[in-house]
A and B are shown apart, each in its own frame.
Chain A
Amino acid sequence: MPKIEVSRRNFFKLSRMKDPGDDKLANLLTLVKGEIDYSLDNELKIELNDTNRPDLWCVEGVARALRCSKNGPENHLSSMSEDHLSIMVDPGIQVIRPYIAGFRATGWKLDQEGLDSLLAVQEKLSESYGKKRSRTAIGFHRAKEIAFPVCYVSAETGELMQPLGYEEKMSLSHILTDTEKGREYAHLLADFTQYPVLTDTNGIIFSFPPILNSNTTGKVCQGDDDLFCDVTGTDWETVQLTATMLACNLEDHGAIITPVDVVYSYDVPSPDREVVTPVLFADCMSVTKDEIKKVLGIDISLETVREVLQRMDYASVEIEGDTLKGTLPPYRRDGIHAVDMIEDIAISLGLESFEPLLPERFTIGHSAPVEELVDAVRTVLIGAGCEEILRPALTSWRKIREITRSPIPPVMIANPMTEEYGAVRNTLLPGLLNVESTSAHASYPHRMFESGEVLISGDDGVCRTEIFLAGLVCGNKADFGDVHSILGSICYSRDLDLSLRSVEDERFISGRCATVIINGKASGVIGEFHPAVLTEWGIARPTSGFEINIDSLKE
């Protein structure tokens, strides 16, 4: 879940409210599905649970939600400058990083907090929403240093730019190898022989997305009040929404937004090759009173619904007869179905205003049949003096194959976090031996069992989950007879015929190992563990064990 750190002073200034204290703030944050992660004097860390609302991953977004819930909706990006800037997009860029959006923001004078929040949102959106700059990256520039119109073009790797924070001009390929950001993001351009750049009207490179800005335009600092923002990327939707969200943020601070006409030389996911950014999204959803009632269980007038949606900053809410049509503000694209708007109604009303009801219709509860069988067998085993064990289902190839010498290879994980948990168990015996090997200090004898899920792979690779039952007895005098008796009492209790047929199995001592046959069907294995296996596990006393498929006890 995204977390943001904000300055408390800045946050409440933007929210246009006094600090209500953490308890009340926690209540207010339910509006944005947010929780206070920690709270110090002027520091506040907020966790935001809605991964579909990147507009909230910054101080401006959360403050806006609080502001609107009190003061009603704001008209975002409705008074942009009439003049448009333009970006010409070169065909060569299409295969590298095809999309760009941008805008100019004038009249908000950056102070330290403003600068901090600008960098914070840039970082958060590029890293999370932009998937570590692969989908989008953001650049802020001092607009006055840029001679428009701007071109978004592909450039030879040897072209020069003075990267932000460096004294001299460097070639683009050197920027990738010799700067910190270059090394961090070079992999994004690894497949290309030309790199994306922004050039000004004189053809001078002033930005190298998604890596670095130039030192001339990119050195944004306190006191600046005229910014140019570029958003580049590989995913149309992400690029456009990012630019729109940022424009709304800067407008909230008092900046006037000048849009940019982006002129593509190739088709893009838009009706026209000329796109005005920031795009004014206006997703709308319609519901009827009945549909609201069906989901929320309350009778509510559409007029009230309009009011509560306005407090959620909806751009417009219109009522036509039985139907209400709500339009999301431009920075939100998470409304893809009417239920999304219905949830906004519920959140705006507050969940505490809903009276909980209990289902009135009668249903019969029952346990899964196999669980009842397992429970019956567990009871018999407890009576036989066995202690029940519970082990993780993930284990290692080494424990199953090399140490225990189990004959069948387990299903392996393709992307294990560690080898220790790289295999899904297909037998419970290594788990029990593992317990034995770490319990030499516990008073003997040890009688234990586990019933649990294992993953079995068929010859065709199709995996199925089975429930196995395994038992183990260890002690100075423990032998084959002990586990045989335990198995015998299980079968006796379920009126099943148990017989054993001698078999060779590497895990067990030759001549002291058998296939378990229950009602004539091979169902598992029983034996006295081979000294070599015990030595590998570091077990110093004689040990015997059995393992069967619980299904064999069904008849």
Chain B
Amino acid sequence: MTEERDLHPLEKKLLTYLEKNGKSSDVDIIRESDLPDEGSFRRAAQWLLSRKLIIEESREEEVFVELGPLGKQNLEVGSSPELAMLCAIKSGSNSLQEIQQDTSFDRGHWGSAFGALIKSGLLKKAGDDILFDGKPEGTVFQEVWNQVYIPLSDGTEIRFADLPENVAEVVESRSPRRGKSRAEFVLNEIVTSILGITEEGREALKKAMETVTIGVMTPEILAEGSWKDARFRRYQVDIPPSRIHTGRLHPYRQFLDTVRKRFIGLGFSEMRGSLAENEFWNNDALFMPQFHPARDIHDVYYLEDGSSVPPPSDELEKRVAAVHENGGGTGSRGWGYKFSRKQSLQAILRSQGTSLSARTLGSNPDIPGKYFAIARCFRYDQVDATHLPDFFQVEGIVLGEQINLRYLLGLLKLFAEEIAGASDYKFLPAYFPFTEPSVEMHVKHPRLGWIEVGGAGLFRPEVCLPLGIDVPVIAWGLGLDRMAMLALGLNDIRDLVTPDLTRLRNMKVQPDRLLTGRDRATNAKN
């Protein structure tokens, strides 16, 4: 045991003291040894005890008497109420009422003192009169005053065991274990431990003294070369490290970063756009009719009057309006209503990242091309454990001559495996106002079972043609917040944007393990 580790400087100090002074009480050691404080002593003693370099020879429990709050008041008055009452009666007072006129003690204390004196037999009642035939000096209360109050007033320690029996009885009866705030006395139990050095301890100390041991390395040690004749104290290397707070990326941002990297790795280019949109790009260009329920004032945030977003070109707006009204030559019947330009220009907070896809389609995209955006979107929801005022979606498009439903399913399969880290997935027919056919993807989560992670569809011709795109386009989107909550082990979506640093610091982050908690490498093997 002892060979495993060198003596710590604190241990050395404690052993040296015991070697010199023999068996000693902890109180003495703390007071007299070179150990800097009680904490250092306790640590050193514990280490040495566990290594059997010292032993506890004995333990002594001693009880010390101290004054409680009531006792301290008495000391200030200069007398206990019992003593004061006896003196008062001696000097002529003969009823409790009369004595209670004296405000040195409150009525309650006078009352309980009276009770105590009657009980002890020192006072007797005769009708309303009180009889006392003795001298206050001879009573136990005087002894308590002399042997407890007076010594305590100048700092002398009083051991309970040293008190005469009658005094001890009074002190004990007035030292309640509970309700110390109204106690006259407090009995303090103090355990004194007597420690002694063992044979092994002597040897260890001897050995330690023979060699110079280096604790903390210093530049001086290096400069002087004093390490050459010394040995290094061996550290106990397996103690837990103390926690430090490092600079750190935000857990949710790390998750988003990972998603972003994966999409770039899959050959997608990143789109960016504005938080504020007009209804044209958010809805009209996506062939969502202006009466669509999702465009209701209770579903979208409108910006206050005076705020605007640059309008689309007149030509484009005309084409989109025609598609809504009568199909605009796209082979569609259209929605058959009068398109409102005013509503089209209403500024809103974007409710879907698809607006970015529409803008990309309208500005000469690469064909074939693949685009994505991690977009903050806004929905009209009450904020709670499952809803944030704004949230992130990853959305995008894939366009090319060859694109069809089978490539769309292939793309979703790719997302299931590469983004969500899932190997079990299924496709279900879905409905999105701007795509046909539309598919949603569910993946199997090891704990939660089937969960929906996103969807895709082929943009309707009514979307693509007015924007000048005549090849098929897959529009796709994945919800990120739910995936992030699973990845970060959170149950409340608000934690993703928590203002609480402690909570943030306690989040474990494994950005390489997304939805199912498996990393890509393991997934690839499956």
Question: In the bound complex, how far is the Cα of B249 from the Cα of A211, in angstroms?
Answer: 59
Residue A51 interfacial (CB < 8 Å): yes
Q: A336-B327, A366-B264 are in contact. Are A294 and B404 (CB under 8 A)?
A: yes
Contact among B412, B428, B433 with A30 in the assembled complex (CB-CB below 8 Å): B428
Q: A337-B460, A412-B304 are in contact. Are A393 and B429 (CB under 8 A)?
A: no
Residue B381 interfacial (CB < 8 Å): yes
CB pair A412 B303 closer than 8 Å: yes
CB pair B264 A363 closer than 8 Å: no
| Interface stretch (choices A81-89, A117-125, A156-164, A416-424) | A416-424
Question: In the bound complex, how far is the Cα of B225 from the Cα of A37, in angstroms?
Answer: 78
User: What is the chain B residue whose CB lies nearest that of A364?
Assistant: B267
CB pair B304 A435 closer than 8 Å: no
Residue B145 interfacial (CB < 8 Å): no
Q: A355-B406, A382-B247, A465-B276 are in contact. Are A49 and B430 (CB under 8 A)?
A: yes
CB pair A381 B247 closer than 8 Å: yes
Question: In the bound complex, how far is the Cα of B336 from the Cα of A371, in angstroms?
Answer: 42
Residue B9 interfacial (CB < 8 Å): no
Contact among A295, A364, A365, A385 with B404 in the assembled complex (CB-CB below 8 Å): A295
Residue B176 interfacial (CB < 8 Å): no
Interface string of B383-416 (1 = CB under 8 A from A): 1000011100000001010111111011111100
User: What is the chain B residue whose CB lies nearest that of A412?
Assistant: B304
Within 8 A of A (CB), among B259-313: 260, 263-276, 293, 297-298, 301-310
Contact among A394, A412, A437, A462 with B310 in the assembled complex (CB-CB below 8 Å): A462
Contact among A298, A442, A462 with B502 in the assembled complex (CB-CB below 8 Å): A442
Contact among B307, B368, B430 with A363 in the assembled complex (CB-CB below 8 Å): B368
CB pair B404 A51 closer than 8 Å: no
CB pair B431 A363 closer than 8 Å: no
CB pair A297 B248 closer than 8 Å: no
CB pair B308 A462 closer than 8 Å: yes
Residue A24 interfacial (CB < 8 Å): no
CB pair A295 B307 closer than 8 Å: no
Q: A339-B437, A352-B427, A411-B307 are in contact. Are A463 and B274 (CB under 8 A)?
A: yes
Question: Which B residues touch A342, using CB under 8 A?
Answer: 436-437
CB pair B402 A361 closer than 8 Å: yes
Residue A115 interfacial (CB < 8 Å): no
Within 8 A of B (CB), among A376-418: 378, 381-394, 411-418
Contact among A295, A336, A358, A439 with B332 in the assembled complex (CB-CB below 8 Å): A336
Residue A357 interfacial (CB < 8 Å): yes
CB pair A387 B247 closer than 8 Å: yes
Question: Which A residues touch B389, using CB under 8 A?
Answer: 392-394, 421
Question: In the bound complex, how far is the Cα of B411 from the Cα of A413, in angstroms?
Answer: 37
Residue A443 interfacial (CB < 8 Å): yes
Residue B44 interfacial (CB < 8 Å): no
Contact among B253, B293, B437, B497 with A343 in the assembled complex (CB-CB below 8 Å): B437
B283 to chain A, nearest CB (A): 14
**A-B contact number at CB 8 A:** 265
Question: In the bound complex, how far is the Cα of B306 from the Cα of A72, in angstroms?
Answer: 57
Question: In the bound complex, how far is the Cα of B450 from the Cα of A35, in angstroms?
Answer: 12
Question: In the bound complex, how far is the Cα of B440 from the Cα of A35, in angstroms?
Answer: 12
Question: In the bound complex, how far is the Cα of B496 from the Cα of A170, in angstroms?
Answer: 57
B451 to chain A, nearest CB (A): 12
A121 to chain B, nearest CB (A): 19
Q: A356-B409, A391-B497, A461-B307 are in contact. Are A339 and B430 (CB under 8 A)?
A: no
Residue A368 interfacial (CB < 8 Å): yes
A154 to chain B, nearest CB (A): 26
Question: Which B residues touch A368, using CB under 8 A?
Answer: 270-272
B214 to chain A, nearest CB (A): 31
A436 to chain B, nearest CB (A): 8
Question: Which A residues touch B257, using CB under 8 A?
Answer: 375
Contact among B252, B266, B334 with A390 in the assembled complex (CB-CB below 8 Å): B252
User: What is the chain B residue whose CB lies nearest that of A294?
Assistant: B404
Question: In the bound complex, how far is the Cα of B248 from the Cα of A372, in angstroms?
Answer: 18
CB pair B303 A413 closer than 8 Å: yes
CB pair A392 B247 closer than 8 Å: no
Residue A296 interfacial (CB < 8 Å): yes
Residue B439 interfacial (CB < 8 Å): yes
Residue B501 interfacial (CB < 8 Å): yes
Question: In the bound complex, how far is the Cα of B501 from the Cα of A30, in angstroms?
Answer: 45
Question: In the bound complex, how far is the Cα of B479 from the Cα of A435, in angstroms?
Answer: 26
Contact among B267, B331, B412, B501 with A439 in the assembled complex (CB-CB below 8 Å): B501
Interface string of B236-259 (1 = CB under 8 A from A): 000000000111111011000100
Within 8 A of B (CB), among A19-61: 30-31, 33, 35, 49-52
CB pair A339 B368 closer than 8 Å: no
Within 8 A of B (CB), among A429-486: 431, 434-435, 437-439, 441-443, 446-448, 453, 455, 457, 460-465
CB pair B275 A424 closer than 8 Å: yes
Q: A358-B414, A368-B270 are in contact. Are A387 and B505 (CB under 8 A)?
A: yes
A297 to chain B, nearest CB (A): 4
Question: Which A residues touch B433, using CB under 8 A?
Answer: 51-52
CB pair A394 B380 closer than 8 Å: no
User: What is the chain A residue whose CB lies nearest that of B411?
Assistant: A359
User: What is the chain B residue whose CB lies nearest that of A350?
Assistant: B429
Q: A365-B267, A439-B499 are in contact. Are A394 and B332 (CB under 8 A)?
A: no
Question: In the bound complex, how far is the Cα of B303 from the Cα of A515, in angstroms?
Answer: 30
Within 8 A of A (CB), among B421-451: 426-431, 433, 436-439
Question: In the bound complex, how far is the Cα of B136 from the Cα of A35, in angstroms?
Answer: 94
Question: Which A residues touch B426, using CB under 8 A?
Answer: 352
Residue B458 interfacial (CB < 8 Å): yes
Residue A198 interfacial (CB < 8 Å): no
Residue A263 interfacial (CB < 8 Å): no
A354 to chain B, nearest CB (A): 5
Residue A147 interfacial (CB < 8 Å): no
User: What is the chain A residue whose CB lies nearest that of B439?
Assistant: A351
CB pair B247 A385 closer than 8 Å: yes
Residue A80 interfacial (CB < 8 Å): no
Within 8 A of A (CB), among B317-353: 327, 330-336, 347, 349
Question: Which A residues touch B264, using CB under 8 A?
Answer: 365-367
User: What is the chain A residue whose CB lies nearest that of B244?
Assistant: A443
Q: Which of A339, A370, A385, A424 has the most CB of B within 10 A?
A: A339
Residue A320 interfacial (CB < 8 Å): no
CB pair B247 A383 closer than 8 Å: yes
Question: In the bound complex, how far is the Cα of B260 from the Cα of A185, in angstroms?
Answer: 50
Question: In the bound complex, how far is the Cα of B333 from the Cα of A283, in angstroms?
Answer: 10
Question: Which A residues touch B407, using CB under 8 A?
Answer: 297, 356-359
Question: Which A residues touch B472, using CB under 8 A?
Answer: 294-295
User: What is the chain A residue whose CB lies nearest that of B474?
Assistant: A359
Q: A337-B333, A393-B376 are in contact. Are A447 and B413 (CB under 8 A)?
A: no
Question: In the bound complex, how far is the Cα of B270 from the Cα of A457, in angstroms?
Answer: 25
User: What is the chain B residue whose CB lies nearest that of A333?
Assistant: B333
Question: Which B residues touch A463, using CB under 8 A?
Answer: 274, 276, 303, 307-309, 347
Contact among A31, A351, A391, A448 with B427 in the assembled complex (CB-CB below 8 Å): A351
Question: Which A residues touch B380, using CB under 8 A?
Answer: 415, 417
CB pair B274 A464 closer than 8 Å: yes
Residue A338 interfacial (CB < 8 Å): yes
Residue B12 interfacial (CB < 8 Å): no
Residue B382 interfacial (CB < 8 Å): yes
Question: Which B residues touch A33, using CB under 8 A?
Answer: 428-431
User: What is the chain A residue whose CB lies nearest that of B406?
Assistant: A297
Shortest beta-carbon contacts, A-B, top 9:
A297-B404, A297-B406, A439-B501, A356-B410, A356-B409, A343-B437, A442-B501, A388-B250, A365-B264
- What 7 new A-B contacts, CB under 8 Å, besides A33-B429, A382-B249? A51-B293, A359-B402, A361-B400, A384-B247, A390-B497, A415-B298, A417-B380
A residues within 8 Å of B by Cβ?
A: 30-31, 33, 35, 49-52, 128, 237, 283, 293-298, 336-340, 342-343, 346-347, 351-352, 354-368, 370-371, 375, 378, 381-394, 411-418, 420-421, 424, 431, 434-435, 437-439, 441-443, 446-448, 453, 455, 457, 460-465
The 9 listed contacts between A and B (C-beta, < 8 Å) are A31-B429, A33-B428, A346-B429, A363-B267, A365-B370, A411-B304, A442-B501, A442-B505, A463-B276
